[in-house]
Amino acid sequence: MPTTNQDFDAEALYRTLLEQVRAGLASVPDAAIVGIHSGGAWLAERLASDLDLKGRLGFIDVSFYRDDYARKGLHPDVKPTHIGFNVDGATIVLVDDVLYTGRTTRAAINVLFDYGRPACIKLAALADRGGRELPVAPDYVGVTTTLAGRQLLSLARDASGQLSLTIEDDNAETVQ
Amino acid sequence: MPKLYNNPQLNRNGELQHLLTIEGLPKSIVNHILDTAQSFVGISDREVKKVPLMRGKSVFNLFFENSTRTRTTFEIASKRLSADVINLNIQASSTTKGESLLDTIDNLAAMHADMFVVRHAQSGAPYLIAKHLNDSGRKEIHVVNAGDGRHAHPTQGLLDMYTIRHYKQDFTNLRVAIVGDILHSRVARSDIHALTTLGVPEVRAIGPQTLLPSGLEHMGVRVFNNMDEGLKDVDVIIMLRLQNERMSGALLPSAQEYFKSYGLTPERLALAKPDAIVMHPGPMNRGVEIDSAVADGKQAVILPQVTFGIAVRMAVMSILAGGRA
């Protein structure tokens, strides 16, 4: 049975994250926001709106860059990647909902470099759940926690745009 | 329910193992290919026109029959997926020295091929190869049919569907006319199966009786021998090339006569809906099946078809090559 953890208030975590990103981007000239589908894309939309960076917003799907393609095949629901600004020289805040092994972050950085050469990439995550398998660390993070491997932390968005973060027990082996 | 026939293109889990024909392919798989292709379209506009999905994989283009466009688009698609591509000009190689088709395949498999893209003049040749690989336990090697005889050309059918979806969004309210030499056309067969699978309510076949195969009605197709009648109020017109090289005997009086009755002119195009699109799998015979004013006109989507074809082939290859064998 999935268990819902009410300890995480996703909206409050978002406000924490927003203030960190706002402070981090103060006096950065070519800032841009890029969200990783799907949860990171929702957060990136909100951040770009709240930071007045709507013209500097992009979305990426890392399915074509994943390191488990040879084992698991192509993800059944690949979303379009769209980066409508010039990546060359930009300071990009890469946004994901949950930071876990770091493999998604690695794939996302590779995607960005196929669009150009950013001046700097910063990593923002709503939650850092530990369990890193690569040398990746967030620059901006809503909350840091430790979860067991079989637990699944996932972000959801309802029809009104409200965010919620839930912990579920997953019997299947999951690789973030 | 017992299976009526063995479908060697799906594995035991119902996933795509080879792409041999659109006939019998579940709608979910067709949609999955089209959705995936949509994500690949943007890659060709980027600074780096490549993704690393098939890095280290070897794709062998086996063209037993000539084709420049299809072979080139498969080659580009493979390269944009970071695969290594080996083009074999079979006509000038071992088969002319007497080697059998399956011996050629075994030799290439021994060179660690991961995928064969096969074009063959004989209907069923890609099936034979896929079955040979399946039966000998080499399920990690995939086969893509790039056109076999008069039978099927599934990636062309899929790219035609992608093009229609791009311009018309919804399949379930469309009238689609396929015009010309349907008898010799593997493209027409693949298109008819795909359109039916995707729920197009009205598919029309237009052509002289000598170039229409029997049994089209059993595929749910409305047959017209008069082009003006057949084009009335259609949303999509798929023109076919007159395949002179495939014709045996006198099926047609002359190319000029053909154009008079079945050439797509601006006047005839005006009978279709005002926003109808005109497609052609290429290469075009201007002045035989299509007037230049139509081929170069604003309703023609013939060049976008070529561009979409690369993304669709990338989608097919990446779905086949990934994961579980």
* Cα four-point dihedral sign B77, B81, B85, B91: negative
Task: Give the residue among B157, B132, B124, B130 at the shortest CA–CA distance from B142.
Answer: B130
Residue B8 has what pLDDT? 84
Residue B249 has what pLDDT? 63
Q: What is the mean pLDDT of residues A152-160?
A: 92
> B170: how many CB neighbours lie within 10 A of its CB?
11
CB-facing half-sphere around the CA of A121: CA atoms within 13 A: 22
Beta carbons within 8 Å of A31's beta carbon, 6+ residues apart: A25, A51, A53, A56, A90, A91, A92, A93
Show the tokens assigned to B28: 């979910």
The secondary structure of chain A in percent helix, strand, coil, rounded to multiples of 5, reads 30, 30, 45
- Taking CA atoms, what residue in A is nearest to B43? A81
Residue B322: enclosing H or E segment and its boundaries?
none
Q: What is the mean pLDDT of residues B80-106?
A: 84
Please say whether the beta carbons of B114 and B138 come within 8 A: no
* pLDDT for residue B1 is more than 70: no
> B152: how many CB neighbours lie within 10 A of its CB?
25
Judge: B324–A73 Cβ closer than 8 Å, yes or no: yes
**CA distances (Å), B69 to each of B74, B96, B115, B313, in order?**
9, 24, 19, 13
* pLDDT for residue B121 is more than 60: yes
**CA distances (Å), B232 to each of B144, B177, B287, in order?**
36, 9, 22
To test the contact with chain B by mutation, choose from A75, A114, A115, A117 the residue with the greatest count of B C-beta atoms within 10 A, namely: A114
To test the contact with chain B by mutation, choose from A38, A69, A83, A103 the residue with the greatest count of B C-beta atoms within 10 A, namely: A69
Q: At B47, is the secondary structure helix, strand, or coil?
A: coil
Rounded Cα–Cα distance for residues B172 and B232 (Å):
18
Give A80's pLDDT tier (boundaries 50, 70, 90). Answer: confident
Q: What is the mean pLDDT of residues B7-30?
A: 92
Judge: A64–B50 Cβ closer than 8 Å, yes or no: no
- Tell me the shortest Cα–Cα distance from B26 to chain A, in angstroms: 15
Rounded Cα–Cα distance for residues B16 and B35 (Å):
15
pLDDT in tens, B244-285: 666 556 677 788 888 999 999 999 999 999 999 999 999 999
- Tell me the shortest Cα–Cα distance from A76 to chain B, in angstroms: 7
Burial class for A40, CB neighbours closer than 10 Å (0-12, 13-18, 19+):
buried
pLDDT in tens, A50-62: 999 999 999 999 9
Judge: B319–A70 Cβ closer than 8 Å, yes or no: no
* Chain A residue numbers touching B39 (CB-CB < 8 A): 61, 63-64, 78-81
Of A72, A79, A110, the CB nearest to B323: A72
Tell whether A106 lies on the interface with B, counting CB pairs under 8 A.
Answer: no
Task: Give the residue among B90, B67, B86, B64 at the shortest CA–CA distance from B75.
Answer: B86
To test the contact with chain B by mutation, choose from A37, A77, A78, A82 the residue with the greatest count of B C-beta atoms within 10 A, namely: A78
* pLDDT for residue A167 is more than 50: yes
* Chain A residue numbers touching B51 (CB-CB < 8 A): 64-65, 114
pTM exceeds 0.80, yes or no: yes
Kindly report the CA angle at B73 between B81 and B291, in degrees rounded to 5?
150
Judge: B323–A71 Cβ closer than 8 Å, yes or no: yes
pLDDT in tens, B216-242: 999 899 999 999 999 999 999 999 998
Please say whether the beta carbons of B161 and B198 come within 8 A: yes
Residue B2 has what pLDDT? 39
DSSP B264: B
* Cα four-point dihedral sign B290, B72, A81, A92: negative
Please say whether the beta carbons of A152 and A169 come within 8 A: yes
Residue A170 has what pLDDT? 73
Residue B68 has what pLDDT? 86
